Amino acid sequence: MDTDKLHSWLHLAMTPKVGPKTVLKLLHHFTTVENILAQDSNTLSQFVGSTVARLIVANAAEKAVNEAYTWLEKDKSNNIITLADSFYPKGLGEMVDPPIILFAKGDLSLLDKHKFTIIGTRHPTEQGTLNAFNFAKHLSNLDLTIVSGMADGIDRYAHLGALEGHGKTIGVIGTGIDRVYPASNKDLFHKVAVDGLLLSEFALGTQPFVGNFPRRNRIVAGLSKGCLVIESAVDGGSMITANMALEMGREVMAIPGSIHNPVARGCHKLIKVGAKLIETTNDIIEELQIVQEVQKSVMAEPINDPILQIMGFDAVDIDHICNKLNVSVAEICANLLALELDGHITNCGNGKYQRIFR
């Protein structure tokens, strides 16, 4: 987009009290952003009220626009996407209140990839963090781009797992893109900016106000074809995102947990109202009905895997596996979990695993 057009979009989108619905209303009447900005305040006030009209005409966004240009020129990985750009994410364009502009830092090509959202509580169990990391890693290895909200807990481990796989990750943040929140995720922000993509619709310098995060959540939900919830309280923020995804017609999925675990109850509630119960990554691929090549790769048996080679039709004790392979329990656990997530073995309880033959 040329400089004049970008300036017009920034001018309108960053004017105080102007949100997506206001911009869409004005575009409906005046067709282009340039036409909107050519109007006087009396004309604009017929559609958006006198206060907003005066702010637009007075160029109240000038300082924020200048800061945006300074940021844009600071690093070649910095980009600003507008609703009019050809590479604006299709999923967001289908929303009733799409972000008018997006500050982006990192690999823009990820917007064209198959995307899948993983979210959950900021206070997960150890099993929850393992599930987030391993599900994200395995889906990333299937060339899915993992989307999440850059929060502590499940979000963090979903991003880290995705970066460990062959694919990448998109982090959507609820502050200005020049702010790191929470501070504990500073390392993650750097990794995603370098090896993935950061997105924010908020002006530079925007602090982490409570009202920002539901707005961020609609982008997290809208970017992807499907959404997996890994541990959430019934009233957790992840439930807001999941409900938004349902309203947008996205596939919503959840991993069940113990009935005694308070951060499993949100997942149970979602399953009760129709979310798909997820046990393996294969369940996700089947639900999404993604391209046939991906389905084939997830179904392929890792015939050279030493664990599978020593397992017959009966359940096998983990100690038996360790003795056969001459490894410790700690060394084998991650591999067992990976095979379980991919649907190649099942956990029978009491330390026993059984191979699933296709």
All structural domains of the chain: 3-106 (no CATH), 108-296 (3.40.50.450), 301-355 (1.10.10.10)
Tokens 């800061």 correspond to 67
In this prediction the pTM is: 0.83
The predicted structure's pLDDT at residue 15: 97
HEC per residue, 300-343? CCCCCCHHHHCCCCCCEEHHHHHHHHCCCHHHHHHHHHHHHHCC
85: number of Cβ within 10 Å: 18
The predicted structure's pLDDT at residue 172: 98
pLDDT tens track for 301-333: 555 788 888 887 678 888 888 888 888 888 888
The predicted structure's pLDDT at residue 291: 46
SS3 content of the chain, % helix, strand, coil (to 5): 50, 15, 35
All residue ranges of the chain with pLDDT < 50 are 291-300
Distances (CA, A) of 280 to 211, 224, 346: 34, 19, 10
